[in-house]
Amino acid sequence: MDESSFYSIDRLVEFGLTLGVATQMANSMNAGLQAMRMPGARNPMQPNALAEDQPLFYVVLDGKSVGPLATSELSRFIAEKRVTKETYVWKPGMQNWQLAENVPEVLRLVAMTPPPVPTMGDE
């Protein structure tokens, strides 16, 4: 058998090794693609999965502890002016109640709350 022939033992070993490496690369790429989370028919986004990660807050309103409040509920209280910078806030992990102005998570919610809608003539 000629050394340059496709069927020579060297060529067959080379082909086998190349095929093995290519298979490993394809399997690695397929595993990475399947681990990706993209919205679509095969793996739809689950809105409740995001809500589970939201921190829970407690606030002091009228001298009483109110909560636990999800981030969306606390945002609503901020928009309604029921929670202000002078309101005491606590969340799991905090040692003591803190004023809302001293809690970064609450300040972020205040910054994201839009101002009141302007009325006719307010320009």
Number of domains in the chain: 2
The percentage of residues in the chain with a pLDDT greater than 70, rounded to a whole number, is 76
Please report, for the domain that includes residue 59, its CATH number. Answer: 3.30.1490
pLDDT (mean) for 23-32: 85
40: in domain: no
Question: 69 near 56, Cβ under 8 Å?
Answer: yes
Per DSSP bridges, beta strands 57-61 and 64-69 are antiparallel
Spell out the residues 6+ positions from residue 67 whose beta carbon is closer than 8 angstroms to its own: 56, 57, 58, 59, 90
Quick one: 105 and 60 in the same domain? yes
pLDDT tier, 49 (very low <50, low <70, confident <90, very high otherwise): very low
Quick one: 65 and 100 in the same domain? yes
68: in domain: yes
pLDDT (mean) for 92-115: 86
Give the residue numbers spanning the domain of 2. 1-34
119: in domain: no
pLDDT (mean) for 53-75: 87
Name the CA dihedral angle for 23, 25, 31, 34, rounded to a multiple of 10 degrees.
Answer: -100
Supply 26's token pair.
Answer: 């394809």
Quick one: 105 and 69 in the same domain? yes
pLDDT at 89: 93
User: Quick one: how far is CA 70 from the chain centroid?
Assistant: 15
Which of residues 6 and 84 earns the better pLDDT score? Answer: 84
pLDDT (mean) for 78-89: 89
Quick one: 62 and 88 in the same domain? yes
Spell out the residues 6+ positions from residue 37 whose beta carbon is closer than 8 angstroms to its own: 43, 45
Q: Which residue(s) pair with 86 in the sheet?
A: none
Predicted model pTM:
0.51
